[in-house]
Structure 1
Amino acid sequence: MTETTANSELLADQVSQMLVQPLEAASVVLSSGPKVFDTAGQLRIPKLTSGATVGFVAEGGLIPDTADVTFDELVLMPTARTSLKIILKYTNELVRQSVIGVDSVLQQRLVKDVADTLDTALLSGAGTSNSITGITEQADVQTGTLDVADPDSLLDAIALCHAEEVTPNRWFISSADFIALRKIKESTGSAKYALEADLTADATYRLFGIPVTPTNKLAEGTAILCDMNEVAVARDVAPSVTVLSERYAEYDMVGLRVTTRYDLGLLHPEGVVVLSAV
């Protein structure tokens, strides 16, 4: 519960017209270009797992009609998939005595907190209790070694993608590993850093030509290289706020409820390489 006695820093006689929120990174997964499907129910995405064998046929020869392909499917948003939900209660006195429009601030803050939890789940969720299985925990992904002192380990990850005819377009790297990588050069005696800033893209960094997203939502020693076109996200509802003005009326309080429901799967797991430090 949020009330005036516990939040005196919000009262008009103590603060100016400014609110300083905690420093946090923006969303990393949803802003990196996955395929997003809006659905409230179970979603089945068909996948081709093998193609036909094509051969050469002589002029006037019989064209074989034995071609066959095999299908699989990716199932997202099963009925048992759980949602992220939270309710925050606060007093009407706090609203009236605040100088910063605390009701609006709390709404924004709750949405941000829920979105951060969602981002962590999309990256590394364990999938327990019918929650999201994150990218690092998906079945059949490729694996590699992360050595932030040796850029060759990262080139090996790129090679794994190319061996599967995949063109990776995103690195996700923990902030600690990002700094370690930022310090190393392309080769012994080189003055050129392996991790380069793209001055045309608002301080975007590239590692061997591939954009890098540093994030505290990945543990140190874990990195992801992937083609985001192979990452499918099912969205039932984006983080949304409902004001519960009557539920706590006998306490002269208001409730804010924030809910969201997502799921994640990989269209082709070979399009993702999860790197771990030895």
Structure 2
Amino acid sequence: MAIQTTSGVIVQEAVQKILVQPLEQMSTWLSSGVTIVDSSEPVRIPVIEPGTLPTYVAQGDLIPDNAVNWSEVEALPSSLLGIAGWYPISNQAVRSTAVTGLPSVVQQRILTDASNKLDRCFYVGDSDGVSAVQTIDTSDATDGTFTLTYKGQTTAALDHDDAAADIQTALRGLSTIGASNVNVTGSAGAYTVTFAGALANTQVEAITIGTDSLTGPGSIEFVTQGIEAGGIDGLFNQPGTQQAELDTADLDSFLDAIAVAAAANVEPNRWYLNPVDHIQLRKIHKGNDDVSYVLDPDPRQGTVYTLFGIPVTTSNFIPRGKAALGATQYAIVVRDLNPEVFVTEHALAQRGALALRVSVRMDMVLSQPGAWVILSES
């Protein structure tokens, strides 16, 4: 990646090399074998639905219409939002011979940010938006107080067993959150914080917990990352998919999912799992005093794990307790032909810096939703 110090758009050939092609390799979804279509305009994609069965017809009789039924979905509509990033870099850093690897560092940062955002959207995106959710757990604490911090602002001390309403009041009192921008539910010691109002349907920073004055443990966890409205409907939010039960303690649930796919005359070629759930599967023992693992030696095809002969893709953006099995040829990603990397000095001239503005648009459609089985813990 070459950092230019003159304002302008980097030519498309260079953008393909520094952004588009590496993204296809870094994204776990794009690199899993899905169909990728490049287009500069919206694309109409037929979505195949079950057709009627052929029937015996006497010679000369009217043949009934047995055409396969389908509807059409518009991918990459003009209203679809793109993913954009803004990366200021000081001119001193650009000129410094001591930072000879700066261009590759900047490129890696851009690619990591973009691929993470895309994968989150490809798996759990919702065009209506998703509000961030965090959980706070002080249920094992026996005494003392804790604090909560958001974007540099910290609450007053909170009792380990305060009511959810007290936690909500404290968080709303932070200037970085504000009134009505979080809702807190739950019981004493086990709270669920849902971002709302001006902080709904957007990426937010994590709330952190201070436990120095707490007798016992206290923890906080991101359950759901916020996603803006107007983007991609991810795999786990696509309509028309088949459903099955997930049990990471029982490999039979995965065979049952293969059976669901087979019943729909689909030959699946890819599993999608959260890494933690995948490890849980690999920890299953043969039993009856045999402590060896069912999946040992590790089944692989090259560098890819397999499960019952089907390659496995793992991603932290797949929710725990969820998995998917599908035929990747029926997942179509439409990629805008005009991604942009724009270099400017004007906006930051007084600070002696330049900035890169990166933007890319992609959309996803399941052309045969019934070819995909979504597994969920009961």
Distance 1:172 1:195 in 2: 20
Deviation at 1:54, TM superposition (A): 2.9
Match of 2:272 in 1: 172
- Do the aligned partners of residues 83 and 186 (structure 1) sit closer, same or farther apart at CA in structure 2, a change above 3 Å counting? farther
Distance 1:181 1:135 in 2: 22
* SS of equivalent to 2:333: strand
Aligned runs of 1:205-244 on 2, under 5 Å?
A: 205-237=305-337, 240-244=340-344
Deviation at 1:49, TM superposition (A): 3.0
Match of 1:64 in 2: 62
Distance 1:72 1:147 in 2: 34
Matched, 1:143 2:280: no
Match of 1:21 in 2: none
- Do the aligned partners of residues 189 and 73 (structure 1) sit closer, same or farther apart at CA in structure 2, a change above 3 Å counting? farther
Aligned runs of 1:71-86 on 2, under 5 Å?
A: 71-86=70-85
Distance 1:260 1:149 in 2: 40
1:63-111 CA distance string (max 9 Å, x none)? 5333342331122111110000011112111222342332442133112
Aligned runs of 1:1-278 on 2, under 5 Å?
A: 26-51=26-51, 53-56=53-56, 61-69=59-67, 70-97=69-96, 98-127=98-127, 128=129, 129-185=229-285, 191=292, 193-194=294-295, 197-202=298-303, 204-237=304-337, 240-278=340-378
1:192-242 CA distance string (max 9 Å, x none)? 62476345512x211111111122111211111111111111101486532
* SS of equivalent to 1:218: coil
- Do the aligned partners of residues 173 and 48 (structure 1) sit closer, same or farther apart at CA in structure 2, a change above 3 Å counting? closer
* SS of equivalent to 1:148: coil
Letter in 2 for 1:140: G
> What percentage of residue pairs aligned between the two structures are identical?
33
Preserved CA contact (<8 Å) 1:237 1:262: no
* SS of equivalent to 2:360: strand
Match of 2:135 in 1: none
Distance 2:255 2:286 in 1: 11
* SS of equivalent to 1:197: coil
Distance 2:296 2:339 in 1: 34
1:138-189 CA distance string (max 9 Å, x none)? 1121121111111111111111111111111111110111111011146767
Letter in 2 for 1:148: T
Distance 1:232 1:241 in 2: 25
- Do the aligned partners of residues 238 and 171 (structure 1) sit closer, same or farther apart at CA in structure 2, a change above 3 Å counting? farther
Preserved CA contact (<8 Å) 2:57 2:63: no
Preserved CA contact (<8 Å) 2:332 2:365: yes
Deviation at 1:26, TM superposition (A): 3.8
Preserved CA contact (<8 Å) 2:85 2:359: yes
* SS of equivalent to 2:74: strand
Q: TM-score normalised to the size of structure 1?
A: 0.81
Preserved CA contact (<8 Å) 1:181 1:195: no
- Do the aligned partners of residues 44 and 187 (structure 1) sit closer, same or farther apart at CA in structure 2, a change above 3 Å counting? farther
Preserved CA contact (<8 Å) 1:195 1:205: no
* SS of equivalent to 1:155: helix
For structure 2, the residue ranges without an aligned partner over 5 or more in a row are 1-24, 130-228
Distance 2:338 2:38 in 1: 10
Distance 2:80 2:239 in 1: 18
- Do the aligned partners of residues 79 and 243 (structure 1) sit closer, same or farther apart at CA in structure 2, a change above 3 Å counting? same
- Do the aligned partners of residues 89 and 222 (structure 1) sit closer, same or farther apart at CA in structure 2, a change above 3 Å counting? same
- Do the aligned partners of residues 189 and 161 (structure 1) sit closer, same or farther apart at CA in structure 2, a change above 3 Å counting? farther
Letter in 1 for 2:62: P
Of the structure 1 ranges 36-45 and 236-245, higher mean CA displacement relative to structure 2 is found in: 236-245
* SS of equivalent to 1:264: strand
Letter in 2 for 1:123: Y
Preserved CA contact (<8 Å) 2:47 2:366: no
Preserved CA contact (<8 Å) 2:48 2:367: no
Distance 2:286 2:359 in 1: 45
Q: TM-score normalised to the size of structure 2?
A: 0.61
Of the structure 1 ranges 141-150 and 239-248, higher mean CA displacement relative to structure 2 is found in: 239-248
* SS of equivalent to 1:116: helix
1:118-155 CA distance string (max 9 Å, x none)? 01110111222211110001112112111111111111
